[in-house]
Structure 1
């Protein structure tokens, strides 16, 4: 007979203990799964982190550039709606950039606009374009090379004979580029930006006085505060830099503007300096080297348009109530206080006398401290 297998009794499992064991098992599985997920996440982060950081950096740079661009391009529209019927405006460098944009705006206000340029064919084409665009047939072009004192004299003679009126003179033309000299042997940046306008203004002063109240507007730059004038080295033989030559010419322009105010205010000829801001014009076209290429790209992306930049120039040309602001610098249609750097009257007088000698005439009109004469009938109308 076979013996029956002995049955070993199974221990009874407490249901609560079984449930606890199952729960412990689940927790261990969850921990193991979580650890695996963390490992996978760490691998992903290691792969993606450099790209993520690059994205953050690029995004931050784009935001910074955008904010800087907004700051540089900030401008206000000319609040004055005045028209210029019956008034004549002469604009140097009117074939492009700020000069052209200013000519368009003034032509829209029915001014008689005369633009100048070294290339007469180009200037006449621009004048035709402005006439067509604005419907104002009183827009003309004439040849003027501010780098030639003889040409400036000839221009002023012809202008005085052919034009009966001149109410606003806008000294806008500018050069910025490598060191070179004019036909007169003068350093080109100072000659074009300052001395040419100095001589032109001198030759047209009588015309401005006869048509008073009239205005002289010098398009300057806030970089004038970094300029230095060495009367012993006007040719910059001791060292030339494009930026240094430009800031020097703008400093001379501001001092010239203040001296015009002192000398001509009593004749109801008012003088203003206008800082249009950084504008995308052809000023940088001659800037040499890699820096020039970089600046030209930056100007296209970051700088304000000539149409925005010219608003303050137009404001100073047409707005009422500016008599008391003669001798001031304007930016975004608001008067600014000139830097103390340009308030030395002895230096300004010396600059004027040296400039007169370079232009070949003797200064016979010593400056008088500007006083506020009683406004004339025409001034009262304008105010």
Structure 2
């Protein structure tokens, strides 16, 4: 990874920090994002201990679209090239809450944030080529269903259902992005990191999660183990031209049947474009001379 620049969202702890450490140790110039400046600075010091290239720190709360846009601007100013974008940030909340934009928090952070950030950074990714977009999904995508009639969980909310839907959205987004990037030398893949022992969901856990986590924690993956697939997708030379795939344990796997529904992928893309204020594909084609 020497000479490569990698941006990792949510890189201040857990799988994200382990991913940053692994790629920095391979020679990459790493940039991490986090909400808390002090925590991000401490994480950067740990990463610099194994890095031969600079480590950049960018702070942003990615549940806010204004913050996502500011982050994209900071990235474009700070990083003169971008070879890999790792969309790692995400979370689980048992109770429904809304963002500053009035959107359901899980959907906004887990899906809309990487959707918007990736689109804002696409030109920088294309400039250097070959480049990669790696999006951290979850095995929960297999239980996900896109409820387009109640996408924000306004009428019926379940923390687990919202999480499952957001992780399915990650895969649908990756497949849709891969199709749109055909011929550009930029690839897009999604992954399941495994069940990893981190602070994931600790802010607002469901009853079952709060009960089970202490019991099964000893059998969970460490963050370093959970980061292996992200690191593999970001760095493996043999994956340079592999795109539109779903990986688990560093191996391409079949994702859920719903994740291959092209009509759902297209509708999700258009709705997401509208929710984040990006021009949709149909608008773009209409505006062409």
Same-fold status (TM-score > 0.5): yes
> d(CA) in 2 for partners of 1:157 and 1:297?
41
Alignment partner of 1:95 is 2:12:
yes
Structure 1 residues 299 and 212 mapped into 2: Cα distance closer, same or farther (>3 Å)?
Answer: farther
Question: Deviation at 1:238?
Answer: 2.3
Secondary structure, counterpart of 1:267 in structure 2 = coil
* Secondary structure of 2:252's aligned partner: strand
TM-score by length of 2: 0.93
Query: Given the superposition, is the C-alpha separation of residues 172 and 135 from structure 1 closer, same or farther in structure 2, using an over 3 Å criterion?
Result: closer
User: C-alpha distance in 1, partners of 2:283/2:26?
Assistant: 37
Q: Give 3-state SS (helix, strand or coil) of 1:184's partner.
A: coil
Indicate yes or no: 2:73 matched with 1:168.
Answer: no
Partners of 1:279 and 1:303 within 8 A in 2 = yes
Query: Match for 2:58 among 128, 139, 142?
Result: 142
Q: Please, which of 152, 163, 169 is the counterpart of residue 68 of structure 2?
A: 152
How far residue 161 of structure 1 moved from its aligned partner, in angstroms, is 2.1
Distance 1:147 1:209 in 2: 26
SS of the equivalent of 1:155 reads helix
Q: 5+ unaligned residues in a row in structure 1: which ranges? A: 1-83, 368-383
Alignment of 1:238-253 (within 5 A): 238-253=155-170
- What's the offset of the Cα at 1:252? 0.5
User: Aligned with 1:312: secondary structure?
Assistant: helix
Partner residue of 2:226 out of 282, 304, 309: 309
Normalized per residue, the structure richer in helix is: 1
Please tell me whether residue 288 in structure 1 is matched to residue 205 in structure 2.
yes
Q: Trace 1:9-24 onto structure 2 (pairs within 5 A).
A: none
Q: Aligned pair 1:357/2:278, yes or no?
A: no
- TM-score, L = length of structure 1: 0.71
Task: Give yes or no for contact 1:274–1:312 (8 Å, CA) kept in 2.
Answer: yes
Given that 2:130 and 2:240 are in contact with CA atoms closer than 8 Å, whether structure 1 keeps it comes out as no
Per the alignment, residue 173 of structure 2 pairs with 256
Contact 1:263 1:366 in 2 (8 A): no
Which residue in the other structure is 2:250 paired with? Answer: 333
Which segments of 5 or more consecutive residues in structure 2 lack a partner in the other structure?
285-289
User: How many residues are treated as equivalent by the alignment?
Assistant: 283
The verdict on how the C-alpha distance between 1:117 and 1:185 changes in structure 2, with shifts beyond 3 A counting, is same
| 1:19-78 deviation line (CA, Å, top 9, x unaligned) | xxxxxxxxxxxxxxxxxxxxxxxxxxxxxxxxxxxxxxxxxxxxxxxxxxxxxxxxxxxx
Moved >6 Å (runs of 4+): none
State the Cα distance separating 1:292 from its structure 2 match: 3.6
Per-residue CA deviation, residues 277-334 of structure 1 (Å, 9 max, x unaligned), is 1000121212435434323313532211011111111111111122453111111111
Q: 1:346 to 1:187 in 2, by over 3 A?
A: same
Deviation by residue 1:148-182 (Cα, 9 ceiling, x = unmatched): 00111111112112211100000011110121100
Does 2:42 match 1:112?
no
Matched, 1:321 2:238: yes
Q: Is the contact between residue 280 and residue 299 of structure 1 (CA under 8 Å) also seen in structure 2? A: no
Tell me the residue number matched to 1:191: 108
RMSD between superposed Cα atoms in Å:
1.7
**Cα offset for 1:365?**
7.8
Structure 1 residue aligned with 2:128 = 211
Find out whether 1:125 has 2:60 as its counterpart.
no
Alpha-carbon separation, structure 1, partners of 2:70 and 2:156: 33
